[in-house]
Structure 1
Amino acid sequence: MAFSLSTHPFLGAPSSVRLSSLRPSDLHNLPCRTLQVGPHRHKLQIQAVGNTFGNYFRVTTYGESHGGGVGCVIDGCPPRIPLSESDIQFELDRRRPGQSRVTTLRKETDTCQIYSGIAEGKIFVDTSLQGMTTGSPIMVKVPNTNQRGDDYNEMSEKYRPSHADATYDFKYGVRSVQGGGRSSARETIGRVAAGAVAKKILKHFSGTEVLAYASQVHKVVLPQDCVDHEGLTLDQIESNIVRCPNPEYAEQMIDAIDAVRVKGDSVGGVVMCIVRNVPRGLGSPVFDKLEAELAKAAMSLPASKGCEFGSGFAGTFMTGSEHNDEFFIDEHGRIRTRTNRSGGIQGGISNGEVIEMRVAFKPTPTIARKQITVTRNKQAAELIFRGRQDPCVVPRAVPVVEAMVALVLVDQVMAHYAQCQIFPLNPALQEPLGVAKT
């Protein structure tokens, strides 16, 4: 029988063509032997996954580091939210490469364009609707303008240690060599663009604010009591190139990055993220706990290797009486906790306190030092990368972590509203969504 990739159901073909109906001998005749199934495997379904995030506020990112551009499609954005390219550009500029010596030297303007989902033009009788979201999918694109594909010629055969080069080949049998393709941190542009929209919705709806900062670079660790999470501002975070709100520790972090940068090496670190004015009740018991959703978002980021909330692993050194957050009634009659070792989440559900989470990032695997590796044809080799790379991902990871947290929270707000807010509330215990707390 004749085969065409476009006729197979895992690429969106009509259901009349089923892989399970093919004879094993037919499967062996697929081009490049792309699919082989044992004789007793009667049903096989393959679905392309991994590029879409969220359930109600859904974001699909697209593009590659050295392709024509990168971006996202946002589905589920509420209508009548004021949104402009400048709203998104502000966040993209924070993530943009080439802004300081502690980031990659790649120069990109990262100028965004919104192609759909915004009301514009002179067709509206009510001009106040112009510049508002329409409820239809929002497409955002950022062109790539500073590709240097020749930097990656050596990587077409040699695998970078601890990079996705080898595992992409193991999984797909083919990969995009230039810039790492989808494994490049440039993919996060789409996340940051969508996160800018999510942040605006959260701020508009409930006054919720998401902030992140560098809390550790290599062995330089910022003590948590050095930062007032109630009074922390974006200006404090953006006051230096490493995005640490404490000037003294910021200088030490910059020195730590400089020390390895000049040697062609790299270091990792930790990003602290806080969320203020969080609606109570976000999250669900058991499998869909708020920590689980946030952890998935954080661990989907390039180079992330760990995530913790509140006291995190340090809580294992405490007793229950030391760790428990005692309740009290504040001056507004609201139930609060005196401490916040739970990190704003109890039983997988937000309690209204500040959410505190930390995300650990490994050292950048692409370095300009000699490394021992192997080639695609299984020969021993040496590799020295001669292109551009981040000596530490932490400074540019800050806005990306914020974006992913915002995406989770918008999705959770929508889920909570659908399940618990469309019916009459128990006013003694439940608070209506959309009311900013003071």
Structure 2
Amino acid sequence: MNTFGKIFRLTSFGESHGRGIGGIIDGCPAGLQLDIDLIQKDLSRRRPGQSKITTQRKEPDQVEFLSGVFEGKTQGTPIAFAIWNKDQHSNDYNELKDVFRPSHADYTYMQKYGTRDHRGGGRSSARETIARVVAGAIAKQMLVKAGVSIQAFVSRVGEVELNKPYTELDLSRTEDNMVRCPDAETAEKMIARIEAASKDRDTVGGVITCVAKGVPAGWGEPVFNKLHADLGFAMLGINAVKGFEYGSGFEGTKLSGSQHNDVFINTDKGIRTKTNNSGGIQGGISNGEDIYFKVAFKPIATLLKEQHTVDKNSNEITITPKGRHDPCVLPRAVPIVEAMAALVFADHFLLSKLNSI
């Protein structure tokens, strides 16, 4: 279960405190001119130590391509890549070797495998998402050829919420601040909320909103691989994610059908919808409107304060974890959400080519 996708496929490998993280991308068409700087840019948006509100683990996260790329172009063959770990502090986890940390994967991994890598969570660590970001950055470059762009941003941290629809925001301002919120005033409040959690040696969760523009009508499948279902599957596979909604989402349940229906209209750009409560997807297939969705992230489970738990022998104990951890995952998760969305759209783009002669 380490492979994602049907045609454009990523298989990832590696652990948080192992030698490195990497992946193999299969199904990427030949002849795509890769901009390595853009791939590295997305990795830098995800890497630790980038600001005062993220973990201070220092990793350059420099990608090294091992196969599938020649003279800057994809060859249609498997693309193998690796990112080597440089700044592991594995000793920080020695006291947790036999401990089941609250809300972590320690207990469930032990129940499933009978063994686990306690250093930084091993395979369950969010550091695995590096491979997704690399693959997603390549998928983004392929999607640009199809006129598709993807932009995610932080829309809520704890109780601090950006109460504006994305259509009223300048999404190009997302990278103007360390929390990756396109509204400067709200961003300051979000940063203050994260700093308050960090000062209290606690953590805070929130929501990331993602918008995909330029997806043409006709991508997706009508039954088991509905476009929104695949997006939900992708997002719920990201560490710390607890919820996914697209279009009007749960708020849409408060409306009547006559209020919620997206009426079709004829425009100089062809058939469009007057509103977009459907979130750009109807019957599991894109309708040509913007696709937008929200992803809910829980507060990170690792707290640098005293907690009660049990060890593998069922002894009740108290722990105070050490290490370098994010007080809030959201700023670094923005490129991960974009990457997983790109993988889904790349797959459905290629699948759409199979549905017609």
TM-score of Structure 1 vs Structure 2, range by shorter chain: over 0.9
Partner of 1:318: 255
2:280 is equivalent to residue 344 of structure 1: yes
1:79 aligned residue (4, 13, 30): 30
1:391 aligns with 2:308: no
Q: Which of 77, 80, 84 is the equivalent residue of 1:139?
A: 80
Following the alignment from structure 2 to structure 1, what is the Cα–Cα distance between the partners of residues 26 and 168? 36
CA distance in structure 1 between the aligned counterparts of 2:41 and 2:278, rounded to whole angstroms: 32
Question: Aligned pair 1:277/2:214, yes or no?
Answer: yes
Shift of residue 326 of structure 1?
1.1
Alignment correspondent of 1:241: 178
1:271 match: secondary structure: strand
* Aligned match for 1:370, one of 306, 309, 312: 306
- Tell me the CA shift for residue 226 of structure 1: 6.4
Match of 2:153 in 1: 213
For CA contacts below 8 A with separation 6 or more, give which structure has more relative contact order: 2
- Tell me the amino acid that sits aligned with residue 218 of structure 1: G
Is 1:154 aligned to 2:95, yes or no? yes
Structure 2 length normalisation: TM-score?
0.98
- Partner residue, 1:180: 121
**Distance in 2 (alpha carbons) for counterparts of 1:177 and 1:386:** 13
Unaligned runs of 5+ in 2: none
Structure 1 CA distance, aligned partners of 2:227 and 2:166? 27
CA contact (8 A) 1:51 1:60 kept: yes
**Distance change (3 Å), C-alpha of 1:238 and 1:412:** same
Residue 195 (1) aligns with residue 131 (2): no
Specify every segment of 5 or more residues in structure 1 that has no aligned partner in the other structure, as ranges.
Answer: 1-49, 120-129, 424-438
Which residue identity lines up with residue 347 of structure 1 in the other structure? G
Higher strand share: 2
Which amino acid in 2 is paired with 1:136?
A: T
Structure 2 letter corresponding to 1:255: A
AA matched with 1:350? S
Amino acid at match of 1:307: F
C-alpha RMSD of matched pairs (Å):
1.0
String of CA shifts for 1:145-176, please: whole Å, max 9, x gaps. 00000111121111110011111001001001
| Aligned pairs, number | 357
Equivalent position of 2:21 in the other structure: 70
Alignment match of 1:111 (pick from 40, 62, 76): 62
- Counterparts of 1:210 and 1:297 in 2: how far apart (Å)? 15
Q: Once the two structures are aligned, what percentage of the paired residues are identical?
A: 51
**Structure 2 residue matching 1:253: 3-state secondary structure:** helix
Measured in 2, the distance between the counterparts of 1:415 and 1:58 equals 12
Q: Deviations over 1:308-360 (max 9, x none)?
A: 0011000111100111111111123x110111111110111000100001000
1:87 CA drift (Å): 3.0
Q: Could you tell me how far apart the structure 2 residues matched to 1:109 and 1:389 are?
A: 17
